[in-house]
A and B are shown apart, each in its own frame.
Chain A
Amino acid sequence: MAALKTFWNSPMGPKTTHFWGPVANWGFVIAGLVDMQKPPEMISRNMTSAMCVYSALFMRFAWMVKPRNYLLLACHASNESVQLYQLSRWAKAQGYLEKKEPEGQH
C-alpha cells in the first residue's frame, strides 16, 4: 500500500508527463504486436525502418535524459525488437532474405 502511494506521488509517477510520455510510446509496441498478425504486404518499409533507427536512438536518449527514464528505455528496447521483426517479415516477403539468387521485387 505504501509502495503504491509512493509511486502515485513520485516525481516520475502517473501524475506527471514523465510517466505518460513513455506510456504513449508503448503504443508503438502494441501497434507493432497487433500488426504482426497481419499479412506482410501491409507493412510499411518506410515507417518500420524509421522506427528501427528511432528506437535505437531513443534507448540512448532515455538513458541520458534527466530524470533518467527506465520506462522509456524498456519501451524502446521492446519496440526495437518488434520493429526489427516486422522489417524482417517485410524483407522476407519481398524476397530479400533468400539464400540463393536473391530476387527482390520493389
Chain B
Amino acid sequence: MAASKIQALWNHPAGPKTIHFWAPTFKWGISIANVADFSKPPEKISYPQQVAVTCTGLIWSRYSTVITPKNWNLFSVNVVMAGTGIYQLARKTRHDHFSEVQEVPAKE
C-alpha cells in the first residue's frame, strides 16, 4: 500500500525524475542563501538583488498555479523566497533610514 503511493509519487509528472521537481527544489537554495545572509551586516545587502528576489517570489507564486503540470513545490518555494526578500529589504531599510542616531551629529 505504502509502496504504491511512493511509486505514484516517484512517477508523478512533476516528480523526482523530472526537471519539474529539481528546478524548484533547488530554488530553495536561494532562500537558504538569503537566510544565511540574514547575519550579514546590512551595508552588504544589495537593494536591486533583494527587490528582484521579492518581486520574483510574489509573481512566481502566481505563475506556479497556472503552468502544466501545476507545481506546489514551486509555489511554496516562491512564497518563502518573497518572505526572505522582504525581510532583507526591511533590515537594510531600517539600517539606512531609521538608525541614524550615531550618524546625525557627524553629518552636522
Q: Hey, which bits of chain A sit against chain B, CB under 8 A?
A: 16-18, 20-21, 23-25, 27-28, 30-32, 34-35, 38, 41-42, 44, 46-47, 49-51, 53-54, 57-58, 60-61, 64-67
A-B contact count (CB 8 A): 98
B26 and A57 contact, CB distance less than 8 A: yes
Given contacts A27-B52, A54-B29, 4 further A-B contacts (CB under 8 A): A24-B56, A28-B49, A44-B40, A65-B20
A17-B59, A17-B66, A66-B67 given as contacts; is B37 within 8 A of A57 (CB)?
no
Residues of A within 8 Å of B29, CB to CB, are 50, 53-54
Q: Smallest CB-CB separation from B25: which chain A residue?
A: A57
Q: Which of A16, A44, A60, A67 contacts B19 (CB 8 A)?
A: A60
Proximity bits, B14-43, A CB within 8 Å = 1, else 0: 000011101110110110111011001000
B83 to chain A, nearest CB (A): 15
Asked if A31 and B49 sit within 8 Å, CB to CB, the answer is yes
B11 is an interface residue with CB less than 8 A from chain A: no
Report chain B residues within 8 Å CB of A38.
Answer: 46
A17–B30 CB distance below 8 A: no
* Cross-chain pairs A/B with CB under 8 angstroms, 19 sampled: A17-B59, A17-B66, A18-B63, A18-B67, A20-B63, A21-B60, A24-B60, A27-B48, A27-B51, A27-B56, A46-B33, A47-B49, A50-B30, A50-B32, A57-B26, A60-B23, A64-B18, A66-B67, A66-B68
Contact (Cβ within 8 A) A57 B52: no
Residues of B within 8 A of A51 (CB): 30
A17 touches B48 (CB 8 A): no
A42 contacts which chain B residues (CB < 8 A)? 44, 46
A44 touching B33, Cβ below 8 Å: yes
Q: Does B55 contact A (CB under 8 A)?
A: yes
